[in-house]
Every structure is written in C-alpha cells, then in structure tokens.
Amino acid sequence: MTKVLVCILLLTFLPGQSDDMSVQDIIKAIDNNLNAKSRILTSKMVVHGRRSSRTIMSKNWVVGTDQAFTEYLSPPREAGTKMLKLGDKLWTYSPQTDRVIQISGHMLRQSVMGSDMSYNDMMEDRPLEELYGATLEGSVDIDGRDHWIIFLEAKEKGLSYPKRRAWIDKQYLLPIKEELYAKSGKLLKKATMSDIRKVQGRWFPSRFYFKDELKRNSKGTEWVINEISFDVNIPDSRFSKAFLRK
C-alpha cells in the first residue's frame, strides 16, 4: 500500500505526459519517481471502524525505499509508539511496555493501527518494474479527465498483491484509482486519491482513501497529508533501533 501511496505521491512529480508513452515508459517513470531522496511528512489517518472512527496523527521520516521511521503523535494511547523500517525488517516500540519488537511472519499481515493498510503494505517498496509486468488496457474518461488503465501482474511469487489495476491520470500521472487483487483474481483492496495540489512546484495528492475489501462492513481508511517536505537532510541516527526508545 505504501507502494501505491508512494506511486501516487511521486507520479505527481512527473510533468504532463503524452498519449504515445508506452506502458513500460509509464512504469519506468513511476519507478524513477518512487525513489525520492528523502521526505518528512505529518499526516492524519482516519480509520472508519464498524462502530466509530478514530483519528491517528503521525510523523514520518523516509529516506529512499529502505529507511523509514514513524512516530505516532495521538491519540494518547498511541502517542509515543514508533516504527522503524530498515530494508525488509520492521520494528515497533511501545512506551507502555518499553519493548522494541520485530514484527515478522503472520503479524506483517495485520492492519497498521486498525487501518485498512497492513504492515506488508508498508514493506513492499521495491520498484514496480522489478515486481510487475504491465499491460496497457486502454484509456478512459473519469470526471472529464483522461486516464490510462494499466494492469500489473507479478513477476515473482510471494507478493501481497499478485495483480493490480490502476487508473493513471494522464496529466498528473497519478493513479487516481487502484484495485489490488489476489492471485485468484479476488479483489483485496481499493485505493483512491483526491485533493491534488501543488507542493514545491509539484502536483501532490493530499487525501487518500483505502478500503480492505475483505473486511466486512468496513468503511475504509482516509489518509490526509497535512505537511510534506522533500529532500530534507535526515541524520542516519534516526534510522537506528536505539532511536526508537528516545
């Protein structure tokens, strides 16, 4: 899901593209933009549960695709919880237990803070070109804007979403909508984005919506970017296990 998110974010950095781009060009362009040097963002996640909604504030520090650090700011029960991703490893720190715990195995399939995103979604950051073969299925008009429809199929086993279909805005090069499928073709998740604005001279989507289609009666999760800055120097010490306890 982070992949989708980063795709969405970074596709905004591409200038408007012409209709004659090949699907490989589009995927390459996406991958080129995925690997931003660094970014710091503050966001709000609104998890619409079956009974009520919860708002979780967090701050993220990200370098490339291998290093990410998240600190949860609110609500009080979540405040102080931190997560560190280094390559394919993920640790979490909870101030209540004062424990640094590596999340692995089936726990990676669990939802992040009760949202419609899983830890696995956060972990899969490798370039799309490496992971998927792409097919251009056609073009479609959505709300008066031209979109490509691209179908992606996994080249290797073990991915959370072996198949996915994305609707790419031709001007913003943003996947306005994406559907994520299991190998069997069963729809697992849906993602959309909106509220596109210019940030540091680039188009930037500030509101995302994710829905886990396997959760019955789920009303989905909204993710709203409040602030984002790119190419900021982030000290290496931030991405250490020791920093989790600070």
Partner 1 sequence: MIRFLIKGLLRDRSRSLFPVLVITLTVTLVIFAIGFMKGTLNSLLLDTAVILTGHEKIVTRAYSEESQLMPNDLALLDVDRLIDDLNQDYQDFFWSPRITFAGLLDVPDENHETRSQGPVIAFGIDLLSDGSRQAEIWELNRALVSGNLPKDNSDVLISSKLANQLNIAIGEIVTFIGSTMDNAFTTYNFKVSGTFNLKKGQTDKQMMLVDLSGARLALDMDNAASAIFGFTHSLYYDDEAAVALRTHYNNTNSDSLDIFSPFMLALRDGNQMGAMVDISGAMLAIMGGIFMVVVMVVLWNMGLMNGLRRYGEVGLRLAIGESKGQVYRSMISEAVIIGLTGTVMGTGIGTALTYYVQENGIDYTKGIEALSNSSMVMPNIFYAQVTPDLFYVGFIPGVLATVLGTMLAGLAIYKREMAQLFKELET
Q: Under the criterion CB under 8 A, does residue 133 sit at the interface with partner 1? A: no
Question: Which CB atom, from 99 or from 246, has the smaller least distance to partner 1?
Answer: 99
Show the DSSP H helices in 75-155 as ranges: 119-123, 128-131
Structure tokens at 13: 């950095």
Is 76 a binding residue for partner 1 by CB under 8 A? The answer is no
Q: Which is nearer to partner 1, 55 or 229 (CB)?
A: 55
Report CA torsion sign: 152, 29, 18, 190: positive
Asked if 78 interacts with partner 1 (CB under 8 A), we say yes
Give ∠ CA 139-141-145 in degrees, rounded to 5. Answer: 110
Helices of type H across 90-166:
119-123, 128-131
# binding residues, partner 1 (CB under 8 A): 29
C-alpha dihedral sign at 8, 175, 55, 186: negative
Q: Which span sits near partner 1 by CB under 8 A: 14-22, 51-59, 175-183, 230-238?
A: 51-59
Of 37, 77, 197, 246, the one binding partner 1 (CB under 8 A) is 77
**Contact code string over 31-50 relative to partner 1, x by CB under 8 A:** ----------------x-xx
Please answer whether residues 29 and 14 qualify as being in contact, where contact means their C-beta atoms are separated by less than 8 angstroms.
yes
Segment 91 to 130, residues that bind partner 1, using CB under 8 A: 92, 94, 96-103, 106-107, 110-114
Q: Which is nearer to partner 1, 78 or 153 (CB)?
A: 78
As beta bridge partners, residue 101 has 92
Closest CA to 156 of 178, 125, 133: 133
Contact 244, 100 (CB under 8 A): yes
Within 212-241, the residues that bind partner 1 by CB under 8 A are: 216-217
- Least spacing, CB of residue 113 vs partner 1, in Å: 5
- Rounded Cα distance, 152 and 43, in Å: 28
Q: How far is the CB of 111 from partner 1 (least distance, A)?
A: 6
DSSP state of 110: S
Q: How far is the CB of 102 from partner 1 (least distance, A)?
A: 6
Q: Which is nearer to partner 1, 36 or 108 (CB)?
A: 108
Q: End-to-end CA distance of the chain, in Å?
A: 28
- Site membership for partner 1, residue 242 (CB under 8 A): no
Report the interface residues with partner 1, using CB under 8 A: 47, 49-52, 54, 56, 77-78, 81, 92, 94, 96-103, 106-107, 110-114, 216-217
